[in-house]
Amino acid sequence: MGSERMPGKVLKELSGIPSLVHIFNILSGAKLLEDFIVVTTTLNEDDPIEQVCRENNVRCYRGSVHDVLDRFRIAAEEEKPDIIIRVTGDDPLMDPEIIDKVIREHIEGGFDYSSNMIERTFPRGMDTEAIRYESLENTWKTTADKDDREHVTLYIRRHPEKFKMHSVVRNEEPLDHIRLCLDTEEDFKLISEIYNSIYEGEVITLDQVLKLLNEKPELLKLNEMISQKPVKGKIF
């Protein structure tokens, strides 16, 4: 809830429903995802997140404010997954089919880490990562760097020589110029327009979004001036 650029963004309402609940529905639609949980902080301001989780029968783990990697460790040690799929709470337009694509390619290739973020060909806001449990555990034990601890998989992405990695790419034209994540008021205006135009109670697909943006290209101007914050001098 304490996002610097847009406080409370994970519970912002889209078509009258909190963004986080839309993400629950998206994850429920991913066929290869066995279960999902929320990891958030122990700060009082994040109590509403736990409340939304309870109301939707979603398990919630809470931990360090800045050491997000340790939050994942706490949850993973309890849940004991073989593979951890990481998505973030500011992507209410993720497509379940893209999540499944990342999982499928990760399993088929036996990779340590797979994502559609290594080479960006999907719009920002479709970010999905698959991490072998042992690789996350190794990261937690190895790095004390504060950026690595905050961004969970940054250490893995910065050390491709240590991990068997796979880039999941779009088979059609790259769409990395499109920004569909929820990080600023400008992003919220665009995503609200998309939800108001398309949402009818079912999860919105990327194809539906692209059709709308093709019909109304002016919508992309709503957040085209927003840039991603760099980490260690690089945009990931």
Please state the length of the chain. 236
- pLDDT exceeds 70 at position 235: no
- pLDDT exceeds 90 at position 114: yes
Q: How confident is the model at residue 227 (pLDDT cuts 50, 70, 90)?
A: confident
Pairing of strands 60-63, 129-132: unpaired
| C-alpha–C-alpha distance, residues 60 and 53, integer Å | 6
Of the candidates 90, 97, 58, the one whose C-alpha atom is nearest the C-alpha of residue 203 is: 97
Q: How confident is the model at residue 234 (pLDDT cuts 50, 70, 90)?
A: low
Task: Establish how many alpha carbons lie within 13 A of residue 161's alpha carbon, considering only the half-sphere containing its beta carbon.
Answer: 0
Place of tokens 């919630």: 60
Domains of the chain in sequence order: 9-222 (3.90.550.10)
- By the 10 Å C-beta count (0-12 exposed, 13-18 middle, 19+ buried), 201 is classed as exposed
Q: Which tokens go with 197? A: 């135009």
- pLDDT exceeds 90 at position 233: no
In the chain, the percentage of residues whose pLDDT exceeds 90 is 94
- Cross-strand bridge partners of residue 60: 38
Q: What is the pLDDT of residues 99-110, one digit of tens each?
A: 999 999 999 999
Q: What is the mean pLDDT of residues 40-67?
A: 97
Of the candidates 52, 51, 54, 64, the one whose C-alpha atom is nearest the C-alpha of residue 21 is: 52
Q: What is the pLDDT of residues 45-57, one digit of tens each?
A: 999 999 999 999 9
Query: Model-level pTM?
Result: 0.94
Pairing of strands 38-41, 60-63: parallel
